[in-house]
């Protein structure tokens, strides 16, 4: 594997992030802080605890997941779409770099950005609520896997999109609603039994459940199913990207 190619793409994408740090990092952190204020303070004053955990602390894993998922998709999709938009994709495809190296460069950069944001939000949360992390290794594992898998998914969206409107279509109409309905701000055990069953068809439930377990030891689904869900999704994304580069589907503008 050509590590120089991966490093070049990675450095270029990370440099772009720090050139637009207000938009790339500060903006999502401020937005999440508003969620802490609105949900943690306003709603938290009415909901004392959820399964023995203060409501303000209970929503922290869900808020981190909400931001990490959307930022991973956004960073990776824009990273590969922009070369298509301005025409430099042809230089990239003619370079001595395989599809694995191209994908690794963009995905690792997007995952790094979203991981940084997730960590900053986690640190910020300690200023708002008393927080404990029972399983820090598992917490980091779920955070890294989520950043990587949804950066892969964002890479696919960036290749699929043919304009800036399509670039935002799936995150706005699919991913964000799935996060809100996936237990980000509540436990699905609080829902009527029928809705609990329906919620289990939402893949984001498994991500949030596993991530929340790493904090409080509480989970809506078994930890094993959460791992199967995230690893299965990652594998499906890798296979899809391999097929895209093999067939050339929408790889050019």
By DSSP bridging, strand 53-54 and strand 49-50 are: antiparallel
Q: What are the backbone angles phi and psi of residue 200, rounded to the nearest 5°?
A: -65, -15
For residue 235, pLDDT over 90 is answered with yes
Predicted confidence band at 251 (pLDDT cuts at 50, 70, 90)? low
Question: Do residues 253 and 168 make contact, with C-beta atoms less than 8 angstroms apart?
Answer: no
Question: 4-63, pLDDT tens digit by residue?
Answer: 888 888 998 888 777 777 666 777 778 777 777 777 666 666 677 778 888 888 889 998
Angle at 189 between CA 145 and CA 193, to 5 degrees: 120
Tell me the per-residue pLDDT of 107-154, one tens digit each, with 9 for 90 and over: 999 999 999 999 988 988 888 888 889 999 999 999 999 999 999 999
What average pLDDT score do residues 153-168 get? 90
- Quote the tokens at residue 144: 């890294």
Residue 232 has pLDDT above 90, yes or no: yes
* Closest of 137, 9, 141, 156 to residue 72, by C-alpha: 156
pLDDT digits (tens, 9 = 90+) for 171-219: 888 888 888 888 888 889 888 889 889 998 999 999 999 999 999 999 9
Cβ atoms of residues 68 and 187 within 8 Å: no
Global pTM?
A: 0.89
How many CB atoms within 10 Å of residue 89? Answer: 19
């Amino acid at each position: 594997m050509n590590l120089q190619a991966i490093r070049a793409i990675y450095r270029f994408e990370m440099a772009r992030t720090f050139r637009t740090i207000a938009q790339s990092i500060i903006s999502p952190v401020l937005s999440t802080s508003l969620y802490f204020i609105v949900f943690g303070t306003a709603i938290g004053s009415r909901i004392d605890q959820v399964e023995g955990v203060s409501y303000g602390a209970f929503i922290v894993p869900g808020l981190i997941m909400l931001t990490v998922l959307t930022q991973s998709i956004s960073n990776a999709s824009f990273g590969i779409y922009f070369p298509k938009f301005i025409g430099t994709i042809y230089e990239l495809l003619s370079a001595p770099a395989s599809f694995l190296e191209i994908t690794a460069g963009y995905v690792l950069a997007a995952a790094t950005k979203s991981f940084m944001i997730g960590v900053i939000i986690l640190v910020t949360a300690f200023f708002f609520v008393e927080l404990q992390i029972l399983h820090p290794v598992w917490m980091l594992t779920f955070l890294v896997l989520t950043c990587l898998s949804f950066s892969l998914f964002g890479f696919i969206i960036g290749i699929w999109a043919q304009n800036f409107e399509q670039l935002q279509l799936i995150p706005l109409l699919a991913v964000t609603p799935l996060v809100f309905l996936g237990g980000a701000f509540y436990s699905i055990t609080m829902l009527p039994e029928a809705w609990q069953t329906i919620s289990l068809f939402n893949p984001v439930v498994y991500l949030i459940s596993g991530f929340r377990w790493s904090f409080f030891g509480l989970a809506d689904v078994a930890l094993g199913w959460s791992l199967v869900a995230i690893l299965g999704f990652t594998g499906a994304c890798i296979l899809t990207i391999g097929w895209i580069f093999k067939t050339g589907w929408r790889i050019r503008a």
